């Protein structure tokens, strides 16, 4: 299995929204190449070779290398937004929903660490129009977490003097997992998610996190 299709702690069928199969193979190859070499050091020939295709075949599905990066980034950011909005809209107290958001967000960044590194750290390589679209998705993700924290403050569950700054800190903490997580480490994506949920609740003054249903 390729590094871009890791399954531990992530979705069971990554990139299944990308069709046809040739387009999916090229996208997976691009994720691997961008993560390994960086966007600017990767050529379309590198990507096509990893996918077992000719360079000309790439242009049938993607007009440019930047279009490939945009597709990867958009899919990743939509997934991130879905995770955070599902937690924000879910049942339970603000503390329970914040813990769920952090657990799920961290688990995705660990379980899909290769993809997440490209999604989160190659934004400056996007063109202006595509970058603006991705920043809008990021603003919505920020808003979902900020809403949970605001509701916790209003309910008296959280002690947070600076909601915007704390929201940024929470998201940055979760995203950074993609940079350092390794399957050779002693913790699984689920365990890292539980640890970070506990840390974030302590950060907002809510005490320790309750274990998730899967951990009970």
Q: What is the DSSP letter of 39?
A: T
Contact 133, 71 (CB under 8 A): no
User: Does pTM surpass 0.95?
Assistant: no
- How far is the C-alpha of 132 from the C-alpha of 127, rounded, in Å? 9
* Nearest residue to 141 (alpha-carbon basis) of 79, 195, 213, 61: 79
Give 125-149 pLDDT, tens digit per residue.
999 999 999 999 999 999 999 999 9
Q: Which two tokens stand for residue 151?
A: 């509701």
Average pLDDT over residues 78-98: 96
CA dist., res. 99 & res. 16, Å (int):
28
């Amino acid at each position: 299995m390729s590094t871009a299709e890791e399954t531990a702690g992530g979705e069971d069928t990554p990139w299944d929204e990308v069709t046809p199969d040739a387009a999916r193979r090229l996208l997976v190859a691009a994720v691997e190449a961008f993560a390994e070499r960086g966007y600017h050091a990767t050529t379309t020939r590198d990507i096509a070779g990893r996918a077992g295709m000719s360079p000309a075949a790439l242009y049938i599905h993607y007009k440019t290398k930047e279009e490939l990066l945009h597709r990867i980034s958009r899919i990743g950011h939509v997934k991130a937004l879905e995770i955070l909005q599902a937690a924000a809209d879910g049942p339970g107290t603000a503390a329970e929903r914040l813990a769920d958001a952090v657990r799920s967000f961290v688990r995705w960044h660990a379980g899909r660490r290769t993809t997440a590194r490209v999604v989160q750290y190659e934004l400056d390589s996007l063109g202006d129009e595509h970058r603006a679209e991705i920043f809008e998705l990021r603003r919505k993700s920020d808003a979902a977490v900020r809403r949970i924290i605001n509701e916790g403050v209003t309910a008296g569950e959280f002690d947070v003097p600076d909601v915007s700054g704390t929201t940024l800190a929470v998201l940055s903490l979760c995203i950074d997992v993609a940079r350092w997580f390794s399957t050779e480490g002693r913790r699984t994506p689920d365990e890292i998610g539980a640890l970070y949920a506990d840390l974030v609740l302590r950060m907002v003054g809510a005490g320790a996190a309750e274990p998730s249903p899967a951990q009970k």
